[in-house]
């Protein structure tokens, strides 16, 4: 999705996000409410940006999956406190939810498009996008979209690591929010990674090469253990043991890489190819609840972390999103991991609801 290019609209969208956070944090502050009203009256673009941002927040709040008792308890607790505070439409908008309608809207968007890669857009980039963009964001909150789920043979939920044993006794371990299809017949062993990340431990069979498709790549093996992931801008393959061949003849120049244990390759959608050496203990480290980042953009690292957080994470600043991160983080505590990344970048993490975290410069 294209971002906002008009500088007035872009600034208004950024300011609207900040107002949402402030009003959420200080709902009883009359001076803050007065200044907010003045800001809305200064320029029609301000009110437009506020309305779009509020609609987005509404829909993101509604996207909490059904069956989560703590979500309803949170809303009930907030509603019980309304008598003790001054009227505040911004906060009320986050409370007056219609879950069924929100999910229906997200499914309409999801059925029309493939699951959008999470992390493509900052909050500023969606400030004036309207209900359709908000609904697509909700699909990102919920996990693999309905179209992907209908196509997949196996999917994993947020925070869930799932291991599947295939017909040939090979195993596939799915990272959270991942999906695969399996195509086995008398001559073919092929698994397509539709979304997310997976680790493959393949049973050797020289007569039937095992192939994995991941976006723009095909990985061919005879017997090995390797990790494949799809990201926003690239797909990656890392080998724990054995030998694989990574290729995409459609690229110009064509990709053709052979990888041994401790080697990995990152192939960008722009055709870039980056090989590197990695300790085998770090291949598929997510299986041990570890996220290992080595000079990676914050946006890319947060993209991985999102699959472990039962909500959504928004980065408000493009410069912050591009800053590099190095470290080892615990995936079983994604909020602490996010705060650790933010501290290293001199940024802060704000909680709008327990399921919406906003990362912004301090």
Report pLDDT digits (tens) over 74-108. Answer: 444 444 544 343 333 433 433 343 333 333 333 33
Contacts 24+ apart (CB under 8 A), 2-7: 3/121, 3/122, 3/124, 3/125, 4/124, 4/125, 4/127, 4/128
In 102-224, beta strands by DSSP E: 154-155, 162-165, 171-174, 179-184, 189-195, 197-201, 210-214, 217-221
Q: Which fold has domain 289-361?
A: Phage tail protein beta-alpha-beta fold (3.55.50)
pLDDT for the residue 56:
63
Convert 283-297 to b/e letters by CB count within 10 Å (16 or more is b): bbbbeeebbbbeebb
Which pLDDT score, from 0 to 100, does residue 63 have? 46
Q: Provide mean pLDDT across the span 240-266.
A: 86
Name which residue leads in pLDDT, 245 or 249.
245
**What is the pTM (predicted TM-score) of this model?**
0.63
Query: Which pLDDT score is estimated for 69?
Result: 39
Between 76 and 268, name the one with better pLDDT. Answer: 268
Query: Which residues pair with residue 274 across a beta bridge?
Result: 266
Residue 243 has pLDDT above 50, yes or no: yes
pLDDT classification of 270: cutoffs 50, 70, 90 = confident
The ranges assigned to domains in the chain are: 7-147, 158-287, 289-361
Average pLDDT score, the chain: 75
114 has a pLDDT exceeding 80: no
Q: Say which residue, 62 or 12, is predicted with more confidence.
A: 12
Question: In the CATH scheme, what is the code of domain 158-287?
Answer: 2.60.120.1440
What pLDDT sits at residue 26? 76
């Amino acid at each position: 999705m294209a971002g906002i290019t008009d500088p007035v609209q872009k600034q208004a969208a950024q300011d609207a996000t900040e107002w949402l956070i402030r009003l959420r944090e200080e709902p009883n502050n009359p001076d803050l409410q007065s200044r907010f009203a003045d800001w809305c009256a200064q320029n029609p673009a301000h009110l437009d940006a506020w309305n779009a941002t509020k609609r987005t927040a509404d829909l993101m709040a509604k996207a909490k999956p059904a069956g989560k008792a703590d979500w309803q308890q949170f809303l009930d607790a907030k509603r019980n406190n309304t008598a003790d505070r001054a009227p505040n439409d911004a906060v009320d908008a986050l409370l007056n939810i219609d879950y069924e309608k929100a999910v229906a809207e997200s499914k309409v968007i999801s059925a029309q498009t493939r699951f959008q890669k999470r992390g493509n857009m900052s909050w500023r980039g969606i400030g004036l996008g309207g209900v359709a963009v908000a609904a697509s964001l909700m699909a990102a909150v919920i996990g693999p979209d309905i179209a992907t789920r209908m196509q997949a043979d196996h999917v994993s939920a947020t925070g869930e690591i799932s291991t599947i044993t295939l017909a040939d006794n090979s195993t596939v371990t799915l990272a959270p929010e991942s999906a695969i299809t399996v195509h086995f017949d008398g001559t073919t062993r092929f698994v397509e990674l539709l979304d997310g990340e997976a680790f493959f431990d393949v049973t050797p069979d020289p007569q039937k090469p095992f192939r994995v498709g991941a976006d723009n790549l095909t990985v061919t093996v005879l017997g090995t253990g390797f990790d494949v992931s799809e990201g926003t801008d690239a797909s990656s393959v890392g080998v724990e043991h054995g030998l694989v061949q990574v290729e995409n003849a459609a690229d110009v120049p064509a990709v053709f890489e052979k990888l041994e244990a401790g080697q990995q390759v990152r192939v960008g959608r722009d055709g870039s190819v980056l090989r590197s050496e990695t300790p085998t203990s770090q291949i598929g480290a997510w299986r041990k609840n570890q996220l290992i980042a080595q000079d990676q953009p914050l946006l890319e690292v947060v993209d991985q972390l999102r699959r472990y957080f039962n909500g959504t994470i928004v980065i408000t600043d493009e410069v912050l999103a591009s800053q590099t991160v190095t470290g080892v983080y615990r995936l079983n505590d994604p909020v602490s991991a996010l705060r650790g990344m933010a501290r290293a970048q001199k940024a802060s993490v704000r909680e709008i609801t327990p399921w919406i975290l906003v990362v912004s410069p301090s």
